Amino acid sequence: MKKKILFVFGTRPEAIKMAPLVKEMQEQKASFDVKVCVTAQHRHMLDQVLDIFEIKADYDLNIMEKAQTLFHITSACLLGLEAVLKKEKPDLVLVHGDTTTSFAAALGAFYQKIPVGHVEAGLRSFDLDNPFPEEANRVLTDRICSLLFAPTPLSKNHLLKEGVSTKKISVTGNTVIDALFLALKKKHTVKNMPLLKFLNHKNSKCRIILVTAHRRENFGKPLENICTALRKTADNFKDIHIIYPVHLNPNVQKTVNTILAGHERILLIEPLDYLDLINLMKLSNIIVTDSGGIQEEAPALGKPVLVLRKVTERPEGIKAGTVKLTGTDKNKIIRELSLLLKSKKHYNKMAKAKNPYGDGKASRRIISSIKTFFNPKLKSTVKQFN
């Protein structure tokens, strides 16, 4: 009997990581009736991803408002989803990761006694303030889910230590790698004009450092330290260009423009759409970020990553050697960038480390686990990721 699956997501990272799973399920029409509900917690950036992967939402709650608070996002998601859940009566709700949308959607399904599957379950920083509120969101979401799709064995171990039954957990790899491989196959022309102009005129010997830094916990002095370190690095190495797509949040814009604007080898541009971003990642030599998803994507492209956080819920990359945690200490950022730029041996050690996050088959593993959930006599057809 065909099962109705309701996907709920609202931000660009969620959409990217859910897209390959949505597409894979939609192709299995005999097994699944797929419905997609977007909350539009992030409006414009979400829409870009839906267009890229040609996904049409069946429901759009359109909750985003200017200067929205966590109170607004949570309550608007819950109230909007109530009608959707009551109308569709899905057999399973799928949520992703650690956003407020994900937690609210899982809670709403729980209130309706609908099973929930959590894609990218089990990540932990063990610090409720870093990242905030994501660490709390994912912990709370995991507690009310019937199916937990852990991207790595370490994520599974976190869940087991919290008392989650091993029967609920599947180790799948991360769907972000599925999405990356799908997206890189698409024909692409750079849309961001300042970036296109730079790429068309750059010296073939110049090295590119891609920066993404916008997290709430880095507002203020931490972001000032990051920017100071970037400017110093640009001054010290005449063959590098730093490209920084700057988040539209005023807290980010003010700091970044005050410290970095006007430098001849620092390009500040608007946030990039997904295809522009991953293609720029592919061209870059080093990536400096406080993002979560980029910590997983960059290793698949052979790019060393410096993470601008105190802690990371993705320690697998650190253990593998492809990611290094710098925090926001400006001297440490300068030192680690200098080491990568000066030492070919050190650079290659990070660039050639094995990616621990996935092999592009996570969606297939998740679907196999869902089929087994509905029919326990059915054996999984795909080996778990390790």
Find all residues with CB under 8 Å of 213, minimum gap 6, and list them.
223, 226, 244, 252, 288, 289, 290, 308
Check: CB of residue 100 under 8 Å from CB of residue 74: yes
Pull the structure tokens for residue 86.
Answer: 């009551």
- Give the Å distances, CA to CA, from 198 to 28, 58, 279: 43, 39, 14
For residues 286 and 293, give the distance between their C-alpha atoms in angstroms, rounded to a whole number: 16
- Residue 98 annotated in active site: yes
Say which residue the tokens 């778990």 belong to: 384
Of 122, 76, 79, nearest to 98 (Cα)?
122
Of 42, 124, 214, 215, which one is the catalytic site residue?
Answer: 214
Of 120, 135, 290, 297, which one is the catalytic site residue?
Answer: 120
For residues 117 and 115, give the distance between their C-alpha atoms in angstroms, rounded to a whole number: 7
Of 91, 134, 276, 297, which one is the catalytic site residue?
Answer: 134
- Residue 138 annotated in active site: no
DSSP annotation string for 168-206 = GEEE---HHHHHHHHHHTS------HHHHHHHHHS-TT-
Say which residue the tokens 């320690």 belong to: 315
Find all residues with CB under 8 Å of 348, minimum gap 6, and list them.
none
Say which residue the tokens 């699944």 belong to: 32
Task: Tell me the CA end-to-end span of the chain in Å, nearest whole number.
Answer: 32
- Residue 216 annotated in active site: yes
Check: CB of residue 98 under 8 Å from CB of residue 17: no
Of 216, 235, 239, 270, which one is the catalytic site residue?
Answer: 216
For residues 38 and 11, give the distance between their C-alpha atoms in angstroms, rounded to a whole number: 8
Of 72, 188, 207, 247, which one is the catalytic site residue?
Answer: 247
- Residue 134 annotated in active site: yes
- Residue 14 annotated in active site: no
For residues 20 and 178, give the distance between their C-alpha atoms in angstroms, rounded to a whole number: 6
Sign of CA dihedral 364, 33, 86, 371: negative
Of 98, 142, 276, 290, which one is the catalytic site residue?
Answer: 98
Q: Is 162 helix (H, G, I), strand (E, B) or coil?
A: coil
For residues 192 and 63, give the distance between their C-alpha atoms in angstroms, rounded to a whole number: 27
| Phi and psi torsions of 170, nearest 5° | -125, 135
Active-site positions?
98, 120, 134, 214, 216, 247
